[in-house]
Structure 1
Amino acid sequence: MKQTRMTILVLFAILSLSTSYAQRQGASKSQSFSVTKGGTLEVSINSGSISIATWDKPEVTLKLGGMDLKDDGIDKLTISHRGNVVRVHDDDLWEYGEDVHLDVMVPDQFNLDLNTSLGDLTLRGTLTGNVEARTSAGEISLGDVTGSVNATTSGGDVTAGNLTGSSSLKTSGGDIRVSSCGGDLEAKTAGGDVRIGKVGKSLRAATAGGDITVDDVNGEATVNTAGGNIGVGRVSGNATVKTAGGDISLAGASGSVRAVSSGGNLTLHSVSGSLEAKTAGGDIRAELLPSGKGKSTLNSAAGTIRLYVPENAKATIEARIRVMGRWKGRNDDFSIRSDFKEEPSTREVGDREITARYILNGGGELISVETVNSDIEIRKLRK
């Protein structure tokens, strides 16, 4: 009898410990639904992270867990299945914190519409479908997506793998990283770096405070930062690149280029359209392939300008050095040098400026080069 009683007490103790452990780990709720490819998962919760993974089964499986969940909280979560749409939402009364987590398995061909007010959003694996992802406070991490993507967070990093469709990635405070995008891409952050691989169509990238690095863009590119360096690959179209405080590097462009820095160097390669290059405090190195598409200007408020053009280019180049401040009257300190023949009687040297003019192969589109208290070099572009 004593042995039986002792056995019962031991079993009761084990059961109590197991129950206590489960309570500490948080409650969970799991459901599965049969679906077909091309369906949609809609999730809208007030708090908690959402983690999605893909598989090759025609099934959506959801598991809910978290340290702060209670039985009455679970009951307030509604999971429904109608047609080929699975919906998960709460009744706006949840206040369990970010420890709540929803783990979901979906077919690898499915659409996602995810929304949480507090928590991270994660997609692991490869998905064919459109993705809407929104969080007010958390990070967004996406794998490879064949389809359009719209991802927005008010505070956190946004990362994505290879995207094939038109995509928009925005954060109010964090970095943005994209491996590649086959369609149009918009990437915008209010404070962080932006790293983007190849873009198949047009690009709009902006940050209020950070560096921007972009690979080749097979379309027009607009890139802006309020405080950082910018590096862009080859652009198949027009390019507008602006920074309020950093260097700009461009590997090439087949359209018109506008590159502006408030205090940095400009390095611009293989520009075959018109060029506007301007810096308030840095050097300019530009390779320009005149194509008759309009006037080009290179202007620095305090830096050396080196312009490279092909020997057979048809262009008219006007160079000017303004001599100001304590350098006034010291024109020997600055010079205009060129591999091309200078037009007779066009060089003027005065107390305030030095000018020269070059007509290449009978002349053509105007290229204006101007700097202050620095040198100008005009060289033959050798490939």
Structure 2
Amino acid sequence: MKTAIRFVTTLTTLFLVLWATGVAEQNVKKNFTVRPGGVLRLDVSGESVQITTSEKLEAIVEVEDIPDKYVNDLKISQSGNDVIVTFKPSRRRQEDTRFFITIPEEFNVDAKYTGGRFEVAELLKGYLTVFTDGGSVDLVDVTGVVNVESGGGSIEGRLLGSDVKIKTGGGSVQVREIGGSGQVKTGGGSVKLEKVAKDLTLETGGGNVRVGTVGGKANLETGGGNMQVGAVALEAKVRSGGGNLEIEGGRGRTAVKTGGGNVALSQLMGSVDVNTGGGSVTVDLTPEGTASSNVESKGGDITFRLPENAKATIEVTLNIRRYERKKYSVRSDFKPEKFEKDEDGNVSATYTLNGGGQKITLETTDGDIEVRRLTNTK
């Protein structure tokens, strides 16, 4: 008898525990008829959100694994041409609840999300705005304006056809193609952008940065980490607290300021302004326009290459600190108009190419300076 009582008591206790913890879950599905140009408005918490598109003029909202005790917190409704989904149970994140939503291609998304992965899986021709406190964001084929802000987690995109704005407190950012202008700001983590059609503004607190091509202007800033940039169609402005920097092509004004690390600038047309606290500097430049060029290093070698037929006036200054015993030198493929060297090894030289032209100033302390003929111009 006592055994039976204990068995019943155990079952009752187990039932109460399961009921109290909300183990039982439900699924909900709703369909709405909509027109192109509407807005999907999300304010939800869960494990994941997946948004896909179809050619049909309907919105389908499927929500899976909703704890019984929170099912009444789920609100799915339609207001005019907008579909509204809210799920914020007791202001707590529900890690198991998943959202699967299908909307027309010509639709917009305005989402606030607390949880794990947020994904737009197919072509979306409307705008996309996402604010999330964390978790990853994955965007595939969004042709409208994109605005993504996250407290953390990685952000990935395949083809983003218009202007893009990304802001994250951490995690990596990786986008294959941006069809308009790009604005990227991250507190840390690596950044990789393969192609930006127009202007690019990028700011990161750290982590490596790799940018393929930029079809407009580039304004890039990093607190640290290496930076590699492909061809920039117009002017480029780069600021770095440290790490190596490489730019592989550009036209117009290229300005670089770094606290340290090596700088390599190649296939440039226009003018340059480089200021570094240390590390070697290599510049390949075809001078264009009336602006002057300047390369200054507080320490490290400078190698400056330009075409043999370029019109330029190059002023070279090599400073030697007295306690530095190593012998540094100035070397050139061109004949100097003036070359002066004092007893401490300091050098002042002038090179006038093809009657003179763009003023180019090169200066370093305790490093070699080379002025060379650029042979592989493109």
CA distance in 1, matches of 2:286, 2:24: 66
Amino acid at match of 1:369: L
Paired residues of 1:119 and 1:135 also in contact (CA < 8 A): no
2:359 equivalent to 1:366: yes
Distance 1:25 1:256, change over 3 A: farther
Decide whether the 8 Å contact of 1:316 with 1:367 is kept in 2: yes
Aligned 8 A contact 1:238 1:253 in 2: yes
For 2:27, the equivalent position in structure 1 comes to: 28
Partners of 1:29 and 1:179 in 2: how far apart?
Answer: 35
What amino acid is the match of 1:42?
Answer: R
Q: How big is the shift at 1:304? A: 1.2
Report matched runs for 1:77-116 at 5 Å: 77-90=74-87, 93-116=90-113
Shift of 1:37: 2.7
What is aligned with 1:4?
none
Cα distance 1:141–1:325, how it changes in 2: closer, same or farther (>3 A)?
farther
2:288 aligned with 1:296: no
- Is 1:337 the counterpart of 2:331 in the alignment? yes
Aligned to 1:75, the other structure's residue is in SS state: helix
Which of 67, 70, 74 is the equivalent residue of 1:69?
67
Q: What is the TM-score normalised by the length of structure 2?
A: 0.89
Q: Is residue 265 of structure 2 the alignment partner of residue 307 of structure 1?
A: no
In structure 1, the partner of 2:249 is 252
> What whole-Å deviation, never above 9, does each CA across 1:10-57 have from its counterpart, x for those lacking one?
xxxxxx9xx99xx85731111111222332211112455322122222
Contact 2:93–2:115 (8 Å) recurs in 1: no
Cα shift at 1:116: 1.4
String of CA shifts for 1:347-374, please: whole Å, max 9, x gaps. Answer: 2333151111101111122111111111
How far, CA to CA, are the matches of 2:265 and 2:87 in structure 1?
53
CA distance in 2 between partners of 1:293 and 1:272 (Å): 12
Alpha-carbon contact 2:328-2:345 (below 8 Å) kept = no
SS at the partner of 1:177? Answer: strand
Q: What's the TM-score, normalizing by structure 1?
A: 0.88
Distance 1:356 1:41, change over 3 A: same
Corresponding residue for residue 3 of structure 2: none
Q: How does 1:165-184 map to 2 (within 5 A)?
A: 165-184=162-181
- For the aligned residues, what is the CA RMSD? 2.1
Shift in Å at residue 91 of structure 1? 6.5
**Kept in 2: contact 1:49–1:101 (CA 8 A):** yes
**Aligned counterpart, 1:269:** 266
Q: Secondary structure at the match of 1:235?
A: coil
How far the C-alpha of 1:137 sits from its partner, in A, is 2.1
Contact 1:273–1:289 under 8 Å retained in 2: yes
User: Do the aligned residues in 2 keep the contact of 1:158 with 1:170 (CA within 8 Å)?
Assistant: no
In the alignment of these two chains, the number of paired residues is: 358
Distance 2:345 2:89 in 1: 71
Partner of 2:6: none
Q: Residue deviations 1:197-250, cap 9 Å, x none?
A: 111110011210101100110110011111101111111111011221111110
Return 5+ residue gaps in structure 2 as ranges. Answer: 1-14
User: Are positions 1:202 and 2:199 aligned together?
Assistant: yes
Native 8 Å contact 1:49 1:116 kept in 2: no
Task: Specify the code of the residue in structure 2 equivalent to 1:130.
Answer: Y
Structure 1 residue 277 displacement after superposition: 1.3
**What do the CA deviations read for 1:134-192 (whole angstroms, capped 9, x no partner)?**
11122211111111000011111111111111110111011101111011101111010
Q: Supply the distance in 1 between the matched residues of 2:336 and 2:88 (Cα, whole angstroms).
A: 79
Task: For residue 146 of structure 1, give the secondary structure of its aligned residue in structure 2.
Answer: coil
Q: Secondary structure at the match of 2:71?
A: helix
Return the alpha-carbon distance in structure 1 between the equivalents of residues 85 and 348 of structure 2.
71
Identity %, equivalent residues: 34
More strand by share: 2
